[in-house]
Structure 1
Amino acid sequence: MEFYGRKTGHCIMDNESNPTQSPPRLSIRTHLNMYDQDLQSSPGRPSSPQMSAAAMDSLLPPGSPETSWTLSPLQTPSPSLLYHCIASLHREDGNIHSIAISKGLVFTGSDSKRIRVWRQSDCTERGCIKTSSGEIRAILAFGNKLFTAHRDCKIRIWNYTVSDNFGFKKITTLPKRSSFLLFPTTSSQQHKDCVSCMAYYHAEGLLYTGSYDRTVKAWRLQDNKCVDTFVVHESKVNAIVVNQDDGCVFTCSSDGSVKIWRRLYRENSHTLTMTLRFQQSPVNAMAISSTSNNCFLYSGSSDGTVNFWEKERMSGRFNHGGFLQGHRFSVLCLVAIEKLIFSGSEDTTIRVWRREEGSCFHECLAVLDGHRGPVRCLTACLQMEKIVMGFLVYSASLDQTFKVWRVKVMPEEKTCFDLADRNNLKKKTTAEYDMSPVLSPSWVEKKLQANHFQ
């Protein structure tokens, strides 16, 4: 599906306060360019004159579904899930690393110095914020505030208004610049490496930032000060989430562990309460699903699995409940909404899982197959309907495309299945999975390199 018509947008520099009009430069397309062209145009990627475009296309999975609704390819005990890709957007900004949703807008951060802003309802571009530093690895939106992390290891906070003629204004940069040149910002206040993730604790107004320098910093937004810095892992921090019910902070790392931290009462320091380790491979992503009845923590690993833990009501401890297996390569991003979990992987696919009410049993409802590179980041929002639950899912891949999916899930059937039925289901799902292989883009690149040097 392609969109036409007039689009308007605003673009401002990082150090300016008044937004200025910028000409619209919208480029929306539903069919991707050949993936070999993307590889050849990317910096540091080898070119391969020996491998034709047609040959490359035959190695890669098919493009996005067409506009008609697609039935989930997996046959599960629950009613089938319907989905289709409603838009595939592309801008010449390099890879998209982060996505955030708030107030009917979608924000994307990429290798470039521009933060793109899209309208959530019809996927049209509303404008952009032009900053002084690129490689925006993390974006977080809450209310009318936008938090962005950049290549210069700093965090920028923006305020924006949503209307026909909306605008952006930078509030501050963390850490704040010193007003005296003789007393620059101390090194302890700034991360020493890339800021990879952020989380916001609403009740206390605390912004948490995780970095490749193995530390997490807590920023008090009331006065924009760093109130605590603590080393959390032996390797780089890949993701951080906060349980809004109790303020617990969860971090994961390439060292293969997930850790739980709690802020001391009436203090700004944090203490380690529990370490969750079930696999040796790096943990790349996390998501938390918390309701009045239960709380689940999900983590995506480089071995392709999604581990999950359930919180005990009495002790508050997290017990390992199992793992979701289906991806062939690294799980790079996770989103949890209601009883659904969305996982994006290096194998170019997005899987939709559903947790059974009152148990730890999960089923894979669908495999969204449309990207031609690793799915780097995901976000989703719920759109309630009368009977069917509707979702909008936004995904970005290292194929430099930004896709929007509409997903519909029928109500869960109240049917009991015995262990034998579930084992048969698992065998059937595995057989279907083995019949539809997906090639890793890293494998494709190695193939190109081998052909290049022959």
Structure 2
Amino acid sequence: MSSTAPQDPPPTAPTSTRRASTAQPRLPLDPLPPPHPSPSLLYHCIASLHRQDGTIFSIAAAKGLVFTGSESSRIRAWRQPDCTERGYFKATCGEVRTILAHGNTLFTSHKDCKVRVWNITAATENFQAKKITTLPKNRSIFMFPRTTSPKHRDCISCMAYNHAEGLLYTGSWDRTIRVWRVSDNRCVDSFTAHEDNINAVVVNQDDGCVFTCSSDGSVKIWRRVYGQSSHTLTMTLKFQPSPVNALALSSSTNSCFLYSGSSDGFINFWEKEKMSGRFNHGGFLQGHRFAVLCLVAIEKLVFSGSEDTTIRVWRREEGSCFHECLAVLDAHRGPVKCLAASLEIEKVVVMGFLVYSAGLDQTFKVWRIKILPEEKECPPAAMDPIDTTVMITEYETSPVLSPSWVEKKLQGDNPFN
């Protein structure tokens, strides 16, 4: 099912946080004042790191470590939560576009349009990474007959992993999705999913559904054919003509929400019906001035990174579609390209998160965020001293952009390539 919307307002028009819980087409909105910092959120940037690695394209967190991949072809490992560098390993196949971590396994995609699979050992201070295989494998010139390689024909822009089935999904700018069975390193399915670059892919670990988004402005939902490896399209979600850059899924026993970030600065969301399994458009989140480039959903929170250099923290109200923007994190000097988040503290009074961000300013930042319950807000004295002294920055309407990004933008180049 798809629906069309009237022409969106220019990306510079909305400078406010707007919540919508209606499925009606979006109309141009009058700008609202910036959101006031919520008393139920405290945050602190605990680390701001810079290495001569160029642009950081991807971040992944797993088993007490955080990994970053950049255009230098280095994969760096950092210890949580203090982000002490544990070391790095370097691939000889070019820049690291995407990183995916699961247990002791790390998947990385590279400029040669292939995926490397690594085994990570970090039990001791001696961090080690050993390459297991390459997807697809490099074929020997002596193999006969030679078959067509299932390698992507363009940049691998995104990856997702089905934990139960052991399937790795790779999405590419060649408009295709490829499915790899990790147990024997075979490509078990390949299909053209969109009419333009694929920018994100997400797997629902509860039912195996696969979500993809593209520069063609659509989000699509796929299911595996029962008893087979092939996939079939079950639903197309399209609410705006703007390219869709990012996806995030928030799934629990009581609800399932899908979020998509677009180049018009809006975040659309859909709610899954419990009976039919259909995804109905629930509204959109307005606040970013320029394109939304990355999204992360964890618990009832959604973190969004944007071309406007900011990160917004959204909270969904329990049992409804209402979303509130709790804070705007403004510390990068260039578009925020990638995000990752992990739960640090889970108590009755407070929940704590670690959020990792990287932008085209070539910096890697770590944020400690504490969320108070919606029903009752504890006084600042209940928080750690380091957090109570932090002032939450108001949203600035004139972001400071990195010179290299501005130069590429003015020359008409795509600064995200």
TM score, norm. by length of structure 2: 0.82
Which residue of structure 2 aligns with residue 208 of structure 1? 169
Note the C-alpha offset of 1:188. Answer: 4.3
Distance of 1:448 and 1:173 partners within structure 2: 38
Partner in structure 1 of residue 204 of structure 2: 243
- The amino acid of 1:142's aligned partner reads H
Distance in 1 (alpha carbons) for counterparts of 2:322 and 2:93: 44
For residues 383-440 of structure 1, the C-alpha deviation after alignment (integer angstroms, 9 at most, x for no partner) is 124321111100000000000111111111279xxxxxxxxxxxxxxxx86x743355
Distance in 1 (CA, whole Å) between partners of 2:87 and 2:200 is 28
State whether structure 2 residue 181 is matched by structure 1 residue 220.
yes
Partner of 2:262: 301
1:151 matched residue in structure 2: 111
Q: Conserved in 1, the CA contact under 8 Å of 2:136 and 2:149?
A: no
Relative contact order: is structure 1 or structure 2 higher (C-alpha 8 Å, sep ≥ 6)?
2
Output the CA distance in 2 between the equivalents of 1:213 and 1:185.
Answer: 23
Q: Matched residue of 2:77: which SS?
A: strand
**Which deviates further from its counterpart, 438-447 or 303-312?**
438-447
- Which amino acid counterpart does residue 205 of structure 1 have in structure 2? G
The answer for the alignment partner of 1:80 in structure 2 is: 40
Q: Deviations over 1:186-245 (max 9, x none)?
A: 444100000000000011000000000000000001110000000000001000000001
From 313, 324, 332, the counterpart of 1:363: 324
**Identity among equivalent pairs (%):** 74
Q: Distance in 2 between matches of 1:246 and 1:130?
A: 36
Question: 1:346 pairs with 280, 302, 307, which one?
Answer: 307
Confirm or deny: 8 A CA contact 1:346 1:440 kept in the other structure.
Answer: no
Q: Secondary structure at the match of 1:233?
A: coil
Answer yes or no: is 1:127 the counterpart of 2:87: yes
Q: Which has the higher strand share?
A: 2
CA contact (8 A) 1:378 1:393 kept: yes
Contact 1:394 1:405 in 2 (8 A): yes
Partner of 1:285: 246
More helix by share: 1
Unaligned segments of structure 2, at least 5 residues: 1-33, 378-393, 412-417
The 8 Å contact of residues 40 and 373 in structure 2, kept in 1 or not, is answered as no
3-state SS of 1:445 partner:
helix
What's the counterpart of residue 438 of structure 1? 399
Aligned to 1:134, what secondary structure does the other structure show?
coil
SS at structure 2 position matched to 1:303: coil
Say which of 280, 283, 297 aligns to 1:319.
Answer: 280
Structure 1: unaligned runs, 5 residues or longer? 1-72, 416-431, 450-454
Residue 390 (structure 1) aligned to one of 332, 352, 366: 352
CA RMSD of aligned residues (A): 2.1
**CA shift for structure 1 position 130:** 1.2
Deviates more, 1:273-282 or 1:78-87: 78-87
8 A Cα contact 1:347 1:441, kept in partner: no
TM-superposition CA deviations, 1:168-191 (whole Å, max 9, x none): 111100001224435497444100
Q: Scaled by the length of structure 1, what TM-score is found?
A: 0.76
Q: Which amino acid aligns with 1:294?
A: S
2:157 to 196, 201, 222: 196
